[in-house]
Amino acid sequence: MTSAFWVLEGMDGCGKTTQAKLLVAALQAEGRHPLHLREPGSTELGEGLRTMLLDKKRQDWDPRSEALLFFAARNQLLHEAIGPALDSGRDVVCERFTPSTLAYQGQTPALSAWVLELDRLVVAPAQRPNCIFILDLAAAESFARVGGETGVEEHDSFESRGLAFQQRVRDGYLAYSHAFPHNTEVIPVAGKSMATIAEDIFRQTQLRRS
Ligand code: TYD
């Protein structure tokens, strides 16, 4: 079976995890054996870095330092999981990838160029996603879904950065989709059922595979 690499992206609260699970189930129903991963995480190194990066009590770090840590997690995931799975003919479904680093750490032209350079160095041509699904939601809606203003106990270090930050995250995703239209699909999610969104995504995987 030919393998394919599918990425689910979007702001906090957009429903990535639910959609990743639904896509995995749909691919399984087709007789495939997809590997479900998340970033940062899914390896020992990635989960360790996740704990450090998402700790809401940590200091603010330079965005380049954050980006290097996310890319360390990504490199390990490519080496341990994504590369071997694709080589063995499996599909990969991954929650978040380089567009997250652009949206969260690459919020100026200089930073975004630097993040794209890291992506070029770390991600081999054969390991590039077939499609990145950006689950698009207004920043205010995303912010409300994760509990609004700062101070919410469960907020991680990124969710607690406020509405203006989340607006820049959304702008970053939309800029990415304009820069790389061939391998992105922007899926508006507001007001749509999880099942409808899942159908849209699955249909695209079928179109893009053929
Ligand atoms: P996520 O697993 O989506 O968090 P949750 O399970 O709480 O929805 O993502 C973890 C956080 O890491 C998220 O706020 C976005 C951030 N992040 C970056 O800032 N840069 C990156 O490159 C990645 C992969 C994630």
> Distance, CA 39 to ligand 1 centroid (Å)?
7
**Pairing mode of beta strands 92-95, 35-38:** parallel
Single-letter residue type at 87? D
Q: What is the set of domains in the chain, with CATH numbers?
A: 5-209 (3.40.50.300)
Instruction: Kindly report the backbone phi and psi dihedral angles of residue 205, in degrees, each rounded to the nearest multiple of 5, phi listed first.
Output: -65, -35
pLDDT tens string 27-84: 999 999 999 999 999 999 999 999 999 999 999 999 999 999 999 999 999 999 999 9
153: confidence class by pLDDT, cuts 50, 70, 90: low
Helix boundaries (H) for 55-193: 63-77, 83-87, 98-105, 109-122, 139-145, 163-179
Q: What is the pTM of this model?
A: 0.95
SS3 content of the chain, % helix, strand, coil (to 5): 60, 10, 30
Separation of alpha carbons 165 and 44, rounded Å: 29
Which ligand 1 atom minimizes the distance to the CA of 13? 8
Best CA proximity match to 38, nearest among 8, 64, 83: 8
- CA 146 vs. chain centroid, Å, equals 17
Is 189:136 a contact under the CB 8 Å cutoff? yes
pLDDT tens string 137-151: 999 998 888 887 655
pLDDT at 195: 97
> Distance, CA 100 to ligand 1 centroid (Å)?
7
Ligand 1: lining residues by beta carbon, under 6 Å: 12, 38-40, 54, 70, 96, 100-101, 104-105, 156, 158-159
Least confident of 97-111, 145-159, 168-182: 145-159
Q: Give nearest CA residue, ligand 1 atom 15.
A: 158
> Distance, CA 182 to ligand 1 centroid (Å)?
24
